[in-house]
Amino acid sequence: MSPSSAKRLITLEEFIIQGQNRFRGATGELSQLLRDIGLASKIISREVNKAGITNILGLAGSQNVQGETVKKLDIFSNDQMLHAFARSGIVSMVISEENEEIIRMQSSSGKYVVFMDPLDGSSNIDVNVAIGTIFSVFMRKSDSEDYPVDEDALQPGINQVAAGYVLYGSSTIMVYTTGIGVNGFTLDPSIGEFFLSHPDIKIPEFGSFYSINEGNYNGWSPGLKKFIEYCKEKDEATKRPFTSRYIGSMVADVQRTLLKGGIFIYPESIAKPKGKLRLMYECNPMAFLVEQAGGMAVDKHGNRLLEREVTNIHERSEIYMGSRDNVQLCADYMKRYRKTVSSGTKAFEPAEV
Ligand code: AHM
Ligand code: MG
């Protein structure tokens, strides 16, 4: 095979630089930030892959063979991401699932604010199930000469300038958007390089999968119950029953939904009136990705999730996201049934906590 006929592989670095060159006057700072995340995720991927063997070599909290204290993987991942953001001095604040407070970086002039869940689904580590890192990037509103203020972090999802995830699954894949489509890069661990493997991801308009924790069925709204019953009914014309798939690791469930279509739901319920997932570092970045791939993400009223006002950096939100047809149908069910019950005797209104 001549060199010219060999398939030309594009690395994450090259792709980021090509993207940057398309914008005249781009400073390259966002590109740097994405490269930093790429590097941190390679280090996390290496540790995640060692997790099983680490159990043999030393449990978290104990000392490993080099005499170092073994850290829990979610703490390790948090540290790696924070180091990455500290390195280039372009991030002024980080909000992490692992830290109650906003982390103010030394470079207070950095123009970006990053939200992250450094290792989502970490309860799945012990059973070798896929887990992931989620990130969401905003531009701060205050002047970079001043210290960043809390309001810089409290922005609606629509203001995100980049978002993505890294899935540590059967292979490690980084999927991100900067608002011009969604692209995925698979890590070749033998040379430590991410290559473009999923260019311009488009979610199917319809998919025959539904993904939700059905153990919580009794606490759902009547409309959601009806929608899930619809998914299970037999009807060849509409390809039902749909297939149920739920990993319980958001990054993995979203990755399948993006590639194969369908709907992923973590709803409000009687036990969890605001759902479980966090708006700023779980729901918003995934909503941005799915919209950029041509899909939809809404709240329980069918409103666009990215427009939700935020009052607390760690607040929770319900999420209904995926293929347009599936999400629209689910939203229609919830609206239709809400009307019926509210005009009747009893409306579903889970109590606020
Ligand atoms: P975590 O941030 O504590 O890991 O929890 C988030 C995870 C998501 O990855 C997943 O979608 C969800 O929790 C599953 O929750 P449940 O077990 O209630 O279905
Ligand atoms: Mg999480």
Instruction: Give pLDDT tens digits for 106-156.
Output: 888 899 999 999 999 888 887 889 999 999 999 998 887 778 888 899 999
pLDDT of residue 225: 97
**Which residue's CA lies nearest to atom 6 of ligand 1?**
121
pLDDT of residue 126: 78
Residue 160 Cβ contacting ligand 1 at under 6 Å: no
Answer with the residue of higher pLDDT: 256 or 123. Answer: 256
Q: pLDDT-based confidence at 54, cuts 50/70/90?
A: low
CA of 282 to the centre of ligand 1 (A): 10
- Strands 209-211 and 243-244, how do they pair? parallel
Q: Where are the domains of the chain?
A: 12-198, 209-350
User: Do 209-350 and 12-198 fall under one CATH topology?
Assistant: no
> Ligand 1 atom closest to Cα of 253?
11
Write down how long the chain is.
353
Distance CA 280, CA 212 (A): 20
**Which residue's CA lies nearest to atom 11 of ligand 1?**
250
- Of 284, 259, 243, 92, nearest to 167 by C-alpha is 259
**Mean per-residue pLDDT of the chain:** 90
Lowest mean pLDDT among 95-99, 106-110, 273-277: 106-110
pLDDT of residue 61: 65
Distance CA 316, CA 100 (A): 14
**Which residue's CA lies nearest to atom 1 of ligand 1?**
121
How far, CA to CA in Å, does 272 sit from each of 94, 216, 269, 300, 308?
A: 27, 10, 5, 13, 18
Residue to mutate (ligand 1; options 48, 249, 280, 286; most atoms within 8 A of CB): 249
Long-range contacts, 76-82 (Cβ 8 Å, 24+) = 76/44, 76/47, 77/44, 77/47, 77/118, 77/119, 77/133, 78/118, 78/119, 80/40, 80/43, 80/44, 80/118, 81/37, 81/40, 81/44, 81/116, 81/118, 81/133, 81/135
Q: Which residues contact 148 (CB under 8 A, 6 or more apart)?
A: 92, 93, 104, 108, 113, 140, 142
**Which residue's CA lies nearest to atom 2 of ligand 1?**
120
Residue 275 Cβ contacting ligand 1 at under 6 Å: no
pLDDT of residue 339: 67
Residue 64 Cβ contacting ligand 1 at under 6 Å: no
Residue 213 Cβ contacting ligand 1 at under 6 Å: yes
- In angstroms and rounded to an integer, the radius of gyration of the C-alpha atoms of the chain is 21
Distance CA 124, CA 223 (A): 30
Please name which ligand lies nearest the alpha carbon of 118: 2
**Which residue's CA lies nearest to atom 5 of ligand 1?**
121
210 - beta bridge partners? 244, 263
Residue 283 Cβ contacting ligand 1 at under 6 Å: no
Q: Does domain 12-198 have CATH number 3.30.540.10?
A: yes
For domain 209-350, give the fold: D-Maltodextrin-Binding Protein; domain 2 (3.40.190)
pLDDT of residue 353: 34
pLDDT of residue 124: 85
